[in-house]
Amino acid sequence: MAGDYAYRRLNKDDAVVLLVDHQSGLISLVQDYTPNEFKNNVLALAACAKFFQLPTILTTSFEDGPNGPIVPELKAMFPEAPYIPRPGQINAWDNADFVAAIERTGRKQLVLAGVVTDVCVAFVALSAREAGYEVFAVTDASGTFDQGVRTAALMRMQAAGVQLVNWFAVACELHRDWRNDIEGLGSLLSNHIPNYRNLMTSYFAREQAKG
């Protein structure tokens, strides 16, 4: 007998990516991932946004202070994206320009990542849920002080109906079917998961053998 749970999948036609406070100063606080691992995860999520042509919104908090400027790679990847440097609001949802940028997309699924998880991500996630949005918090592209803090933040968001995902799950759920583009998504995954390149090398070898 069918249950009462509805599986709400990410939809590339209804999703918008929010990159919140990935700033040079704040990133130094991230201790639940190694620096290289965290940077890779953030750039992988950004690559997914570009691959699936998702609207993407960048925001920073008090960047003239110790939080520092946005990570330059993100700004370079999305030169035309809405960029909201908040003058002081800790919760990005308290900034009218940020919320207006989301509303202009007309999309209701928010793919959210940021620094730090328990503040910059959780505050936005909870506010967005209250406003009626579906929220998908990308856990491995968000970072904080330690794993204990991360766990508490994830539990708080999950209790509010936030879906917890990693960037790889985001990519696969958006893609739906390998037949949509084997080589395109395979290349993206290979760029950010070294071992995945072995799978693609094997695939290309088989394809060449067929030819």
The token pair that represents 159 in the structure block: 């209790």
Report the chain's C-alpha Rg in angstroms: 18
Comparing CA positions, the residue from 97, 7, 6, 108 lying closest to residue 55 is 108
| Residue 123: strand, helix, or coil | helix
Distance of CA 76 to the CA centre of its chain: 17
| Residue 195: strand, helix, or coil | coil
Just list the catalytic residues: 120
What are the distances in angstroms from CA 158 to CA 10, 24, 31, 161, 190? 17, 28, 22, 5, 30
